[in-house]
Structure 1
Amino acid sequence: MMMIAPYGTYMHGGALLVNAKSYHASGMENLKFYGWGPEDTERYERWTNLGYRIGYAKGCLFHLSHPRDLNGTHNSNQQKMYSHYLKDTAILSSKEDIRNQMNL
Protein backbone atom coordinates (compact mmCIF):
# COMPACT_ATOMS: atom_id res chain seq x y z
CA MET A 1 0.00 0.00 0.00
CA MET A 2 1.37 3.42 -0.96
CA MET A 3 1.06 6.24 1.57
CA ILE A 4 0.86 9.88 0.49
CA ALA A 5 2.09 12.79 2.63
CA PRO A 6 -0.37 15.55 1.67
CA TYR A 7 1.19 18.10 4.02
CA GLY A 8 4.76 17.74 2.79
CA THR A 9 7.89 16.76 4.63
CA TYR A 10 7.61 19.05 7.66
CA MET A 11 4.24 18.87 9.36
CA HIS A 12 3.57 21.65 11.86
CA GLY A 13 1.56 20.23 14.74
CA GLY A 14 0.27 16.74 15.30
CA ALA A 15 2.50 16.12 18.30
CA LEU A 16 4.14 18.85 20.31
CA LEU A 17 6.62 18.91 23.21
CA VAL A 18 7.54 22.30 24.64
CA ASN A 19 9.39 23.91 27.51
CA ALA A 20 6.69 25.34 29.81
CA LYS A 21 8.50 28.64 30.47
CA SER A 22 9.13 29.20 26.77
CA TYR A 23 5.53 28.26 25.95
CA HIS A 24 4.18 30.87 28.37
CA ALA A 25 6.70 33.49 27.20
CA SER A 26 5.63 32.95 23.56
CA GLY A 27 1.99 33.77 24.26
CA MET A 28 0.94 30.09 24.32
CA GLU A 29 -1.85 29.41 21.80
CA ASN A 30 -3.32 32.19 19.68
CA LEU A 31 -6.90 32.29 20.97
CA LYS A 32 -8.08 34.27 17.94
CA PHE A 33 -8.40 31.00 16.01
CA TYR A 34 -11.72 29.16 15.85
CA GLY A 35 -12.28 25.75 14.35
CA TRP A 36 -9.81 23.73 12.33
CA GLY A 37 -7.22 25.71 10.47
CA PRO A 38 -3.63 26.86 10.20
CA GLU A 39 -3.07 27.46 13.93
CA ASP A 40 -0.21 24.93 14.03
CA THR A 41 1.60 26.78 11.24
CA GLU A 42 0.91 30.14 12.91
CA ARG A 43 2.47 28.83 16.15
CA TYR A 44 5.51 27.47 14.28
CA GLU A 45 6.08 30.73 12.40
CA ARG A 46 5.56 32.84 15.53
CA TRP A 47 8.03 30.75 17.53
CA THR A 48 10.54 30.81 14.67
CA ASN A 49 10.32 34.61 14.43
CA LEU A 50 10.71 34.88 18.21
CA GLY A 51 13.97 32.94 17.88
CA TYR A 52 12.89 29.66 19.49
CA ARG A 53 14.74 26.46 18.65
CA ILE A 54 12.41 24.02 16.89
CA GLY A 55 13.29 20.43 16.12
CA TYR A 56 11.62 17.49 14.45
CA ALA A 57 11.60 13.85 15.48
CA LYS A 58 12.71 11.37 12.86
CA GLY A 59 10.04 9.12 11.45
CA CYS A 60 6.46 9.35 10.33
CA LEU A 61 3.47 11.10 11.82
CA PHE A 62 0.20 9.34 11.14
CA HIS A 63 -3.16 11.08 11.31
CA LEU A 64 -6.12 8.96 12.31
CA SER A 65 -9.28 9.86 10.46
CA HIS A 66 -12.04 11.16 12.73
CA PRO A 67 -15.35 12.99 12.38
CA ARG A 68 -15.40 16.75 12.88
CA ASP A 69 -17.83 18.31 15.31
CA LEU A 70 -19.14 21.89 15.30
CA ASN A 71 -15.77 23.26 16.46
CA GLY A 72 -13.92 21.36 13.74
CA THR A 73 -14.89 23.70 10.94
CA HIS A 74 -15.39 27.39 10.25
CA ASN A 75 -18.74 29.12 10.66
CA SER A 76 -18.17 31.17 7.52
CA ASN A 77 -15.74 31.81 4.70
CA GLN A 78 -14.89 35.10 6.40
CA GLN A 79 -13.79 33.21 9.51
CA LYS A 80 -11.66 30.87 7.38
CA MET A 81 -10.01 33.84 5.65
CA TYR A 82 -9.30 35.42 9.06
CA SER A 83 -7.53 32.23 10.19
CA HIS A 84 -5.26 32.41 7.15
CA TYR A 85 -4.70 36.12 7.79
CA LEU A 86 -3.49 35.29 11.33
CA LYS A 87 -1.09 32.67 9.94
CA ASP A 88 0.20 35.01 7.21
CA THR A 89 0.67 37.80 9.76
CA ALA A 90 2.88 35.51 11.88
CA ILE A 91 4.96 34.63 8.82
CA LEU A 92 5.57 38.29 7.95
CA SER A 93 6.00 39.67 11.49
CA SER A 94 9.21 40.62 13.22
CA LYS A 95 10.01 39.63 16.78
CA GLU A 96 8.90 43.09 17.96
CA ASP A 97 5.67 42.91 15.93
CA ILE A 98 4.80 39.55 17.49
CA ARG A 99 5.48 40.78 21.01
CA ASN A 100 3.12 43.71 20.41
CA GLN A 101 0.41 41.58 18.75
CA MET A 102 0.48 38.95 21.52
CA ASN A 103 0.90 41.49 24.37
CA LEU A 104 4.16 39.87 25.48
Structure 2
Amino acid sequence: MVDVSERVRRRVRADFPHHVPQVTEALAGLTSDVFRGEPRDSIHVERIQVAALVLARGHLGELDEAISLGRTDWRDLLVAAGLADEGWQELVENELAVDPAPHAWIVPGRRRPKS
Protein backbone atom coordinates (compact mmCIF):
# COMPACT_ATOMS: atom_id res chain seq x y z
CA MET A 1 0.00 0.00 0.00
CA VAL A 2 1.19 3.52 -0.81
CA ASP A 3 1.78 5.61 2.27
CA VAL A 4 1.54 9.39 2.31
CA SER A 5 4.41 11.82 1.86
CA GLU A 6 5.76 13.76 4.80
CA ARG A 7 4.20 16.93 3.34
CA VAL A 8 0.76 15.32 3.25
CA ARG A 9 1.26 13.89 6.74
CA ARG A 10 2.12 17.40 8.00
CA ARG A 11 -1.10 18.75 6.43
CA VAL A 12 -3.11 15.91 7.99
CA ARG A 13 -1.64 16.75 11.41
CA ALA A 14 -2.77 20.36 10.93
CA ASP A 15 -6.27 19.52 9.66
CA PHE A 16 -7.00 16.39 11.74
CA PRO A 17 -4.71 16.51 14.79
CA HIS A 18 -6.69 13.86 16.70
CA HIS A 19 -7.13 11.47 13.76
CA VAL A 20 -3.76 11.34 11.99
CA PRO A 21 -3.46 7.53 11.67
CA GLN A 22 -7.07 7.14 10.50
CA VAL A 23 -6.82 9.94 7.92
CA THR A 24 -3.40 8.94 6.55
CA GLU A 25 -4.60 5.36 6.16
CA ALA A 26 -7.70 6.54 4.27
CA LEU A 27 -5.61 8.75 1.96
CA ALA A 28 -3.09 5.97 1.35
CA GLY A 29 -5.95 3.61 0.53
CA LEU A 30 -7.39 6.12 -1.90
CA THR A 31 -4.22 6.23 -3.96
CA SER A 32 -2.94 2.68 -3.49
CA ASP A 33 -4.22 1.55 -6.90
CA VAL A 34 -3.58 4.80 -8.77
CA PHE A 35 -0.25 5.44 -10.51
CA ARG A 36 1.23 2.08 -9.52
CA GLY A 37 4.96 2.31 -9.01
CA GLU A 38 4.92 6.04 -8.23
CA PRO A 39 6.65 6.90 -4.96
CA ARG A 40 4.48 8.17 -2.12
CA ASP A 41 5.94 11.66 -2.49
CA SER A 42 5.10 11.84 -6.18
CA ILE A 43 3.25 15.06 -6.97
CA HIS A 44 0.66 12.97 -8.83
CA VAL A 45 -0.12 10.90 -5.73
CA GLU A 46 -0.06 13.98 -3.50
CA ARG A 47 -2.45 15.76 -5.88
CA ILE A 48 -5.19 13.19 -5.32
CA GLN A 49 -4.62 13.08 -1.57
CA VAL A 50 -4.61 16.88 -1.32
CA ALA A 51 -7.84 17.03 -3.32
CA ALA A 52 -9.52 14.92 -0.62
CA LEU A 53 -8.07 17.13 2.12
CA VAL A 54 -9.23 20.30 0.37
CA LEU A 55 -12.78 19.01 0.11
CA ALA A 56 -12.73 17.71 3.70
CA ARG A 57 -11.90 21.10 5.22
CA GLY A 58 -10.90 19.40 8.46
CA HIS A 59 -14.13 17.38 8.87
CA LEU A 60 -14.09 13.58 8.97
CA GLY A 61 -17.56 13.26 7.41
CA GLU A 62 -16.53 15.41 4.46
CA LEU A 63 -13.31 13.42 4.14
CA ASP A 64 -15.36 10.22 3.89
CA GLU A 65 -17.41 11.80 1.08
CA ALA A 66 -14.26 12.95 -0.72
CA ILE A 67 -12.67 9.50 -0.40
CA SER A 68 -15.85 7.91 -1.73
CA LEU A 69 -15.88 10.27 -4.71
CA GLY A 70 -12.21 9.54 -5.36
CA ARG A 71 -12.75 5.80 -5.26
CA THR A 72 -15.55 6.14 -7.81
CA ASP A 73 -13.36 8.27 -10.10
CA TRP A 74 -10.30 10.14 -8.86
CA ARG A 75 -10.61 12.59 -11.78
CA ASP A 76 -13.99 13.74 -10.44
CA LEU A 77 -12.30 14.32 -7.08
CA LEU A 78 -9.70 16.53 -8.76
CA VAL A 79 -12.40 18.54 -10.52
CA ALA A 80 -14.41 19.00 -7.31
CA ALA A 81 -11.31 20.24 -5.46
CA GLY A 82 -10.22 22.59 -8.26
CA LEU A 83 -7.08 20.59 -9.02
CA ALA A 84 -7.95 19.33 -12.48
CA ASP A 85 -6.91 22.27 -14.64
CA GLU A 86 -3.69 23.94 -15.62
CA GLY A 87 -1.79 25.35 -12.68
CA TRP A 88 -2.72 22.49 -10.35
CA GLN A 89 0.93 21.96 -9.39
CA GLU A 90 1.13 25.42 -7.83
CA LEU A 91 -2.14 24.87 -5.98
CA VAL A 92 -0.89 21.58 -4.56
CA GLU A 93 2.38 23.22 -3.51
CA ASN A 94 0.42 26.00 -1.79
CA GLU A 95 -1.78 23.50 0.04
CA LEU A 96 1.31 21.64 1.26
CA ALA A 97 3.42 24.70 2.09
CA VAL A 98 5.10 24.73 5.46
CA ASP A 99 3.69 27.32 7.82
CA PRO A 100 6.19 29.80 9.23
CA ALA A 101 7.64 29.05 12.63
CA PRO A 102 5.56 30.52 15.45
CA HIS A 103 8.37 32.89 16.39
CA ALA A 104 9.44 33.89 12.89
CA TRP A 105 8.84 37.53 13.80
CA ILE A 106 11.87 37.50 16.12
CA VAL A 107 14.86 38.94 14.28
CA PRO A 108 17.99 36.81 14.79
CA GLY A 109 20.63 38.56 16.90
CA ARG A 110 18.14 41.03 18.31
CA ARG A 111 17.52 40.85 22.00
CA ARG A 112 14.07 40.72 23.40
CA PRO A 113 13.20 43.53 25.79
CA LYS A 114 13.56 42.67 29.45
CA SER A 115 10.40 42.72 31.46
State TM-score, norm by structure 1. 0.31
1 or 2 for the larger relative contact order (CA 8 Å, sep ≥6)?
A: 1
Greater gyration radius: 2
> Which has a greater percent of helix?
2
State TM-score, norm by structure 2. 0.29
